[in-house]
A and B are shown apart, each in its own frame.
Chain A
Amino acid sequence: MVKKHNEIIKAESKDLSFFYADKTQALKKVSLPVYENKITALIGPSGCGKSTFLRCFNRMHDLYAGNRYDGKIILQPDNTDILLENVDPIEVRMRISMVFQKPNPFPKSIYENVAYGLRVRGESNKRTLDEKVEEALKGASLWSEVKDRLQDLAFNLSGGQQQRLCIARALATEPEIMLFDEPTSALDPIATMNIEELMSELKQKLSILIVTHNMQQAARISDYTAYMYLGELVEFDGTNQIFTNPSKKETEDYITGKFG
Chain B
Amino acid sequence: MAIQNKAAANKNLDSIRKTIANHKRHDFIFASLGTLVIASLTITLLILFLDLVIDGYPRFNLDFFSNFPSRRAARAGILSAWIGSSLVLLVTFFVAVPLGITSGVYLEEYAKKNWFSDLIEINVSNLAGVPSIIYGLLALGLFVYSFGLGQSILTAGLTLALLMLPIVIVSTREAIRAIPVHIREAAYAVGATKWQVCHNHVIPYSYGGILTGVIIGMARAIGETAPVITIGALTFIAFLPPSPIGLEPPFINFEWLESGFTVLPIQMFNWISRPQLAFHINAAATGAVIIMLTLLMNGLAIKLRYNIRKKIKW
Listed in ascending order, the chain A residues whose CB lies under 8 Å from chain B are 58, 60, 63, 65, 90-91, 93-94, 97-98, 100, 102, 104-107, 116-117, 119-121, 155, 166, 169-170, 173
Q: Once the chains are docked, how many angstroms separate the CA of A188 from the CA of B70?
A: 75
- Cβ–Cβ contact A116 & B187, under 8 A: yes
- Cβ–Cβ contact B313 & A117, under 8 A: no
- Cβ–Cβ contact A116 & B189, under 8 A: no
Q: Which listed residue, B112, B183, B196, touches A120 by the CB 8 Å rule?
A: B196
- Cβ–Cβ contact B182 & A93, under 8 A: no
User: In the complex, what residue of chain B is closest to A170 when comparing beta carbons?
Assistant: B190
B156-185 interface bits toward A, Cβ cutoff 8 Å, 1 = contact, 0 = none: 000000000000000000000000101111
- Cβ–Cβ contact A60 & B185, under 8 A: yes
- Chain A neighbourhood of B113, CB < 8 A: 65
Q: Once the chains are docked, how many angstroms separate the CA of A60 from the CA of B192?
A: 12
B181-213 interface bits toward A, Cβ cutoff 8 Å, 1 = contact, 0 = none: 011111111111100100011000100000000
Provided the pairs A106-B201, A107-B205 are in contact, do residues A169 and B190 lie with their beta carbons within 8 angstroms?
Answer: yes
- Chain A neighbourhood of B193, CB < 8 A: 90, 120
Provided the pairs A65-B113, A106-B201, A107-B205 are in contact, do residues A97 and B182 lie with their beta carbons within 8 angstroms?
Answer: no
- Chain B neighbourhood of A60, CB < 8 A: 185, 188-189
**Residue contacts A-B, CB under 8 angstroms, 5 given:** A63-B185, A93-B188, A104-B180, A104-B183, A166-B186
User: In the complex, what residue of chain A is closest to B179 when comparing beta carbons?
Assistant: A107
User: In the complex, what residue of chain B is closest to A63 when comparing beta carbons?
Assistant: B188
Q: Once the chains are docked, how many angstroms separate the CA of A67 from the CA of B190?
A: 21
Q: How far is the CB of A100 from the nearest CB of chain B, in Å?
A: 6
- Cβ–Cβ contact B191 & A90, under 8 A: yes
Provided the pairs A116-B200, A120-B196, A155-B313 are in contact, do residues A106 and B187 lie with their beta carbons within 8 angstroms?
Answer: yes
- Cβ–Cβ contact A106 & B192, under 8 A: no
- Cβ–Cβ contact B182 & A104, under 8 A: yes
- Cβ–Cβ contact B190 & A93, under 8 A: yes
Q: Once the chains are docked, how many angstroms separate the CA of A78 from the CA of B277?
A: 86
Q: Once the chains are docked, how many angstroms separate the CA of A155 from the CA of B189?
A: 19
Q: Which listed residue, B112, B183, B190, touches A65 by the CB 8 Å rule?
A: B112
B215-239 interface bits toward A, Cβ cutoff 8 Å, 1 = contact, 0 = none: 0000000000000000000000000
Q: Which listed residue, B183, B184, B185, B190, touches A173 by the CB 8 Å rule?
A: B190
Residue with the greatest number of chain A CB neighbours at <10 A, chosen from B180, B182, B186, B192: B186
Q: For the complex of A and B, list the 8 residue pairs with the smallest distance between their C-beta atoms, beginning with the closest.
A: A117-B190, A94-B191, A98-B189, A104-B182, A93-B191, A104-B186, A120-B192, A90-B191
Q: Once the chains are docked, how many angstroms separate the CA of A98 from the CA of B190?
A: 8
B133-161 interface bits toward A, Cβ cutoff 8 Å, 1 = contact, 0 = none: 00000000000000000000000000000
- Chain B neighbourhood of A116, CB < 8 A: 187, 190, 192, 200
Provided the pairs A65-B112, A90-B193, A107-B205 are in contact, do residues A100 and B188 lie with their beta carbons within 8 angstroms?
Answer: no
- Chain B neighbourhood of A120, CB < 8 A: 190-193, 196, 200
- Chain A neighbourhood of B180, CB < 8 A: 104
Q: How far is the CB of A209 from the nearest CB of chain B, in Å?
A: 14
User: In the complex, what residue of chain B is closest to A179 when comparing beta carbons?
Assistant: B189
- Chain A neighbourhood of B187, CB < 8 A: 106, 116
- Chain B neighbourhood of A121, CB < 8 A: 191
- Chain B neighbourhood of A105, CB < 8 A: 186
Q: Once the chains are docked, how many angstroms separate the CA of A108 from the CA of B33?
A: 49
Provided the pairs A106-B201, A107-B205 are in contact, do residues A100 and B192 lie with their beta carbons within 8 angstroms?
Answer: no
- Chain A neighbourhood of B196, CB < 8 A: 120
- Cβ–Cβ contact A100 & B313, under 8 A: no
Q: How far is the CB of B196 from the nearest CB of chain A, in Å?
A: 5
- Chain A neighbourhood of B189, CB < 8 A: 58, 60, 93, 97-98, 100, 170
